[in-house]
Amino acid sequence: MMNSPRDVLTPDSLAMLQGIEKAGSFAAAARSMGLVPSALTYRVRQIEDALDVLLFDRRSRQAKLTAAGRELLREGERLLVDIDAIANRVKRVATGWESQLTVAVDSIVDRVTVMELCDAFFALKAPTRLRLRDETLSGTLEALTSGQADLALGTAGSLGDSGLTTGIHSQVLGPMRFVFAVAPQHPLAKAPEPLSDALIGQHRAVAVADSLQRGAGLTIGLLPGQDVFTVPTMHAKVQAQVRGMGVGFLPESFARPLIEAGHLVVREVARPRRVTQVGYAWRIPDGNDGEHGGRALQWWLKQLKSPTTRSALLVNPRRQNTVNTV
């Protein structure tokens, strides 16, 4: 029975081909490996038969690779490197590091601070792969409860009485104040204050789509019957309101630089001021050996205990809000 490619393409056989190419001849390679030349030739022939290709040009006394042989050796070298990397990763994961940590990041969370945290995490040279997910409103928590994320930054409201799935824990990041902002050229920019819901409802609102995959999702600040322009991100919402395409509430930290630059105007409204408690939550997988999760999650939770980090995730004074002109 003829061997299949999987039978013959082993790490040992790939290393053997590397040895032949390096030695320059079958005889020299056989001596270095402690084999008789016929045994080495037989093993190469097994590989060639399984792949149905010639790996070496037999017309030369030298071990000269064919085009197929060069390609196999090139890919084989990559596979050997990958095998070594996998073995190293497995050993390190056995020390308590997760193989991957997924962080769901709500659109209200400062991306500069998130990237700084990622940079600091990579400096640890941990074996854990890091993955970020962009989420909005209910979708941020859903990514966690559905098992698609391990940590969620920017969850809305208080989670203490929300009946969370077993294994989900949460803490508060801090309060986020919202302001009602419009473009200077928008009709509501010069309307008498405070603006009533009846007046606001006559104008198009800009809303960020909830990334919730199942269910209706949240709609915050919208009025019954109001025309709505739905956009995918908070950045798109800001840009739409700057252009006068609609109105709505914005996190003050997002809007402040644009207000100071004259691109947005804050208007007082008749309804109560809106302040939202923003939090973060994490999931401890079933069967996890550690009470507080793996070492990567523990590192992130340690950073989030810092008041400076929590504040920066919600209000980063270095944020550069720009207006794209067309």
- Residues 152-196: pLDDT tens digits? 999 875 454 444 556 788 899 998 888 999 999 999 999 999 999
Q: How far apart are CA 45 and CA 118, in angstroms?
A: 49
Residue 289 DSSP code: S
Assessment of whether the complete model's pTM goes beyond 0.85: no
Q: Which domains does the chain have, with CATH numbers?
A: 5-93 (1.10.10.10), 103-171+279-313 (3.40.190.10), 175-276 (3.40.190.290)
Contact in structure between 104 and 133 (CB atoms under 8 Å): yes
pLDDT of 322: 42
pLDDT at residue 287, rounded to an integer: 45
| CA 24, chain centre distance (Å) | 47
Position 116 scores a pLDDT of 96
Q: Tell me, what's the pLDDT at 190?
A: 94
Residue partners of 136: CB distance under 8 A and separation at least 6: 106, 107, 208, 209, 210, 211, 232, 233, 234
What residues does 195 pair with on adjacent strands? 269
Tell me the pairing of strands 129-135 and 100-106.
parallel
Cα 275 to Cα 262: distance, rounded to the nearest angstrom: 24
Give the pLDDT score at 268: 94
Please list the ranges in the chain whose pLDDT falls under 70.
1-2, 88-89, 92, 157-166, 211-221, 285-292, 316-326
Structural contact between residues 249 and 123, judged by C-beta atoms closer than 8 angstroms: no
Residue 159: which of 178, 148, 145, 180 has the closest Cα? 145
Q: How far apart are CA 253 and CA 325, in angstroms?
A: 22
Task: Give the DSSP per-residue string, 7-67.
Answer: HH--HHHHHHHHHHHHHSSHHHHHHHHT--HHHHHHHHHHHHHHHTS--EETTSSS-EE-H
User: 3-state SS string over 67-89?
Assistant: HHHHHHHHHHHHHHHHHHHHHHH
Sign of CA dihedral 188, 189, 191, 192: positive
Q: What is the pLDDT of residue 145?
A: 82
Query: What pLDDT shows up at residue 92?
Result: 67
Say if strands 265-266 and 205-208 run parallel, antiparallel, or are unpaired: unpaired
Q: Is the peptide bond before 194 cis (omega within 30 degrees of 0)?
A: yes
Cα dihedral: 143, 144, 147, 151 (round 10): 110
Phi/psi of residue 115, nearest 5 degrees:
-65, -35
Q: Would you state the pLDDT for residue 158?
A: 47
Which H helix or E strand runs over 220? Answer: none
Tens-digit pLDDT profile for residues 207-239: 887 766 444 444 566 788 889 999 988 889 999
| pLDDT recorded at residue 211 | 62
Q: Please provide the distance, in angstroms rounded to a whole number, between the alpha carbons at the two ends of the chain.
A: 69
| Helix locations, 123-220, DSSP H | 138-145, 197-200
